[in-house]
Structure formats: structure tokens, C-alpha cells
Amino acid sequence: MKIKSPPARLLLAAITSIGASLAQPALAGPEEQAAQIHSRITGVKPSVATLTQMAELIAADKAGDAAYLAMQSDAFYNVTLKNLVTPWTSRDGDNFAPLNDYTATVIGMVRDDEDFREILSGDILYTGASGLGLPAYSNSNNNHYVELENSGYPLQTALERKTQSSVTGLPSEATAGVITTRGGAKAFFYAGTNRAMFRFTLMNHLCRDLEQVHDTSRPPDRIRQDVSRSPGGDSRVFQNSCIGCHSGMDPMAQAFAYYDYVYDVDNDPTGENGHLDYNGAGQTDPATGTRVKAKNHINSATFAYGFVIPDDKWDNYWREGPNMHLGWSSALPGSGNGAKSMGRELANSEAFAQCQVTKVFEQVCLRAPEDQQDRNQIDNITASFTGNGYRLKQVYADAAVYCAGE
């Protein structure tokens, strides 16, 4: 028997229906969302029990609680957070750098829901917990953290909060979160003039490199002697280029005047066994006659009339001009002495908060913000972050829930 073909109009209707269903993907159900949230936060699949619990929370309109449940996985600390923080600890952004006190301190602060602004000013340090059989923390090597990482202990339970001053001997008033960890000092106080510490802190924690804050309208009165005023014999290069970075950077980087990373240049050229050194009250550097480290006066003959650093007083010239848009806190004076107060200035900016949120969004959603809806969500998560104690776990939860249906 010959089968008749359906009328053309029915074929068209069926094709239209199929096309519509393909163009409008079905919304993910609670289990799919739970699996997505867990995967984005931890990088691993949840157990059946965890998946069930998370799905039940999502079905009860408690997706945020489901995200927090995912963060109980060791993988969130050993993988997700470590992958976020590790590139911040070196000049080349090495994703495979070993665990150190900088990385461990950020991970511990997230675990304990500490105010994330303290990463740039707090007297805080996370080490391996006592009783794990690890080498003692050392100011001169990273063995403690290498052994902690190699041991396989989950960082969620293996880290112990301490004060930096009690472990390293640095005066509490001279501590500045990760800035004054050994890992931070090795990377950014190594050689040079300590400007690297300011630049990379800006990059890692405000998501801005110097080109993005370039401003030739600020006064050049604090630019040091080592900066030529006529590079290549052309003063226009200084006026149109050099001044744009140095006029703002040099007054801020002065906060690091008393710090140096000391190592054996001949026998240990990469500084693996070096240590952070700080000139406390009453100490004098023989090369400068003040507490200011000699490295701040190198190449002083380049422009003898340039600024000579007398102390660690810093000023934020970017509170005026185009860099006002970084959102400096009106509750702070915009000047002070030392790394602690300068770190507080950076961490209380709107740019700091938005930077953390954007980095987490990109890590969790596996993409950069793409459209106005994404940008609005970044703003919403940032407002929640700043309004609820600067807790980074909340940022992870909010970002994962937002991207759960993708």
C-alpha cells in the first residue's frame, strides 16, 4: 500500500515547531543547575549525596546555599582558589608556581570569610597547622609551603591563621597583608626600586596596569632622580610619556621606602634563600643616612634635581584628575606613612572591589562579561560584596548561581 505524504502545511508546521524548540533551549532543572554550580566552583563532579542536597536547595529557591555547599569541597581550596591566586605571586603570572605564604594567606582568608580588603593591610599570615610534621616557617626559604603542598593535606583544614608579626618578626605596624609576605617580597621587592610592588599590586588587585592609569596632568614634583627628564635627549618623551606613570606611581610607591628583599646576588641570583628586610624605628641605612633603603637612591645621577626620598610618606595624586574614577574612599585621607595605610587606600577603592568580582566571574563563568546583562550583574555582585563585609565566598556563590543555567 502506498503511503501518502503529509500535506505541505503540516510539514511546515512541524519544521517550524522543531526550529523553535532548538532556538529556545530548555531551562536547566535543579539537578542540572546543581551539577553546573558544583563544577564551576570546584572543577569536579559532586557526589550523589551532595548533588541531591544541592538540587533540593535549588528547588527550594536557595541556590546560594547550594553554592556554599559546593564550597565545602576540598577542590575549591586546593584547585579553584589556588589557580586564582597563584598567578598573582610572580612577575610573569606563573600558574604553576609552588604554594607560598602569599597564596596560602589569601586561601585561608577566603576560607574564614575574612574581610578581603585585609589582604593589602592586615597583620595576618596563614601557615600549615601545627601537628602536621612540616618544617617550621622560615623567613629565608619556602620549604614549609612546599612540604605542605607535597603532603597532599587539604588546604581547607591544613591552614592555620596567625599574625604575620608573631611569625616573621616584622613589626605589626609594618605588616601589609600579602605585600609583606615572603612570597610577595621575593617577587616584587626583589632588586629594582620597589616600584614593581606597586605596579603588580595595582595589576593584581585593581585590574589596572600603568598604561590604564596614565595621567600627564599630575605634578611631577615627587618623581625620583633615576628618571631621565629627557630620554634620548628629547624632553617631550618625558612630558608626554614618562610623567604619566611616574607622577602618580612614585608618590604612592614611597610607602615601600623601608623595605628590601635581601639575598646573595652571586651565589643565589634568583633569591631562593633571600628574606624580607625592614628598617624599623632607629635603624639607619649607611648609604642614605636615614631609614630609607639604598635601593631607592640608585641611579641618582640620572637627574640630580629629582626627588630624593626622605621617608615612607605616600600621597595619592590620583584622587584628582581622570583617575578619580577608580573610586577612592572619602573616609580615608589619601595620604599616610608606610605600606599598611597605602594598602588600605588601594583596597578601599571601588576599582579593588570590582576587580575581585570580575576575576571571580571570569573564572566561574569561564568567560569575560559579554553584554549589558553581564555588566549589570557584575555591578550587583560588587554591591553585595562591598555591602556584606567583602567576603569572597559570597562572590563565588553569586557568580556561580548566575551562570548555572548556561
pLDDT for position 375: 97
Cβ(391)–Cβ(399) below 8 Å: no
Render each residue's pLDDT in the chain as its tens digit; 406 residues: 444 444 544 444 443 444 433 333 445 799 999 999 999 999 999 999 999 999 999 999 999 999 999 999 999 999 999 999 999 999 999 999 999 999 999 999 999 999 999 999 999 999 999 999 999 999 999 999 999 999 999 999 999 999 999 999 999 999 999 999 999 999 999 999 999 999 999 999 999 999 999 999 999 999 999 999 999 999 999 999 999 999 999 999 999 999 999 999 999 999 999 999 999 999 999 999 999 999 999 999 999 999 999 999 999 999 999 999 999 999 999 999 999 999 999 999 999 999 999 999 999 999 999 999 999 999 999 999 999 999 999 999 999 999 997 7
What's the burial of 334, exposed, middle or buried (CB within 10 Å: 0-12/13-18/19+)? middle
pLDDT for position 28: 74
Taking CB atoms within 8 Å and a gap of at least 24, the contacts of 184-189 are 184/89, 184/102, 185/259, 185/261, 185/275, 185/276, 186/100, 186/261, 186/271, 186/274, 187/89, 187/90, 187/91, 187/102, 188/91, 189/256, 189/259, 189/260, 189/261, 189/276
Task: Give the residue among 71, 65, 40 at the shortest CA–CA distance from 53.
Answer: 65
Q: Can you give the pTM of this predicted structure?
A: 0.92
Cell of 292: 630609607
Cβ(257)–Cβ(311) below 8 Å: yes
What are the helix (H) ranges across 272-349? 338-347
Cell of 370: 559579554
pLDDT for position 27: 56
